[in-house]
Amino acid sequence: NPITGIICENYNRRPIAVIMANDPAARPLSGISSADLIIEMPVVTGSITRIAAFFTCVSPSEIGSLRSARHDFIPLAMGFDAIFVHWGGSHFASDKLDKGIMDNINALYNPFGIFYRKSGLPAPHNGFTSYDRLWLTSQKLCYRDKSKFDGYLFTSYDKCNACQNGRLMIDYSVPYDVYYDYNAVKNSYSRFRAGYPEIDKLNNAQVETKNIVIMRAASRPIDDQYNDVDVEGGGKAIVYKNGIEISGSWKKDKENTASKLYFFDDKGAEIKFTPGKIIIEIVEPYQKISWAK
């Protein structure tokens, strides 16, 4: 798999990027622990966050709750050659998607009846689907199935006897605040939301990842209720893997919306990830991030 460096049956399929909620009313989410990649960022400056969960290797029987698209997620999803899945969107996003900027599946139109509302959850947090439904629909819509994403670089991991447990804290506003606990024995970062483990409702597993990227990008409110985030161009970044912190930068070509999102160390070399899942946290340039052992 070019995103995770892990061998799997569907490694060369295009990823399916699903916009999912972070709101307390939507928790716990279904299918989130199966994502190969998660990108999280504010959709309201200094407040609400939302995620794009990318699925390739594992096909969860339920994914949700789904939420509406924001235009900032579009170039990021395009950079991974993903099929974009959303339940409506801001007019900034819808204007681009309705013009065919990228392959997408909109639950508002509900092609082939693949999306559904679950009882017991308040709207709009009750929209769900499954990976198999999404993949079958992408085939019916004649979307290309093979990925063109160039992929990231990966390096093998040798057990680090000197590594220590640690905690990475990300200062999103409450109740969207996030932290990760690093377990040196497992070489894995476990995700917590608002002080509680981020649990996948589908399998009762806590969300874990091998790599975390802090991607600093400025944002500003637009049109009273939406956000505009500088996800193209470049800026500072910090990568956490194997219990260590690597300062560097990120880059995405402004002239090519489908360009790859790169991460470099301070010497300008492209960072090699540990094989496994990646979570990208997009934060303000001034936002507080702390890593302590």
Question: Tens digits of per-residue pLDDT, 221-266?
Answer: 998 789 999 999 999 999 999 999 999 999 999 999 999 999 999 9
pLDDT tens sequence across 265-275: 999 999 999 99
Looking at residue 293, what is its pLDDT?
87
pLDDT tens sequence across 145-203: 999 999 999 997 766 766 789 999 999 999 999 999 999 999 999 999 999 999 999 99
The enclosing H or E element of 209 equals: strand 208-209
What does the block give as tokens for 93?
């996003």
> Of 48, 205, 72, which Cα lies nearest the Cα of 125?
48
Instruction: List C-alpha distances in Å: 262 to 42, 78, 222.
Output: 20, 13, 27
Looking at residue 195, what is its pLDDT?
96
> Of 45, 264, 274, 257, which Cα lies nearest the Cα of 154?
274
| CB-based burial label for 94 (10 Å; 0-12, 13-18, 19+) | middle
The pTM assigned to this predicted structure is 0.97
How confident is the prediction for the chain on average, in pLDDT?
95
How far apart, in whole angstroms, are the C-alpha atoms of residue 86 and residue 103?
A: 11
Query: Which region among 68-82, 105-119, 154-168, 229-243 has the lowest average model confidence (pLDDT)?
Result: 154-168
Looking at residue 158, what is its pLDDT?
66
Rounded to the nearest angstrom, the gap between the alpha carbon of residue 132 and the centroid of all alpha carbons in its chain is 19
> Of 198, 214, 182, which Cα lies nearest the Cα of 278?
214
pLDDT exceeds 70 at position 75 = yes
Looking at residue 232, what is its pLDDT?
98
What does the block give as tokens for 50?
């939302």
pLDDT exceeds 90 at position 204 = yes
pLDDT tens sequence across 38-59: 999 999 988 899 999 999 999 9
Q: What percent of the chain has pLDDT over 70?
A: 98
Looking at residue 163, what is its pLDDT?
79
Looking at residue 179, what is its pLDDT?
98
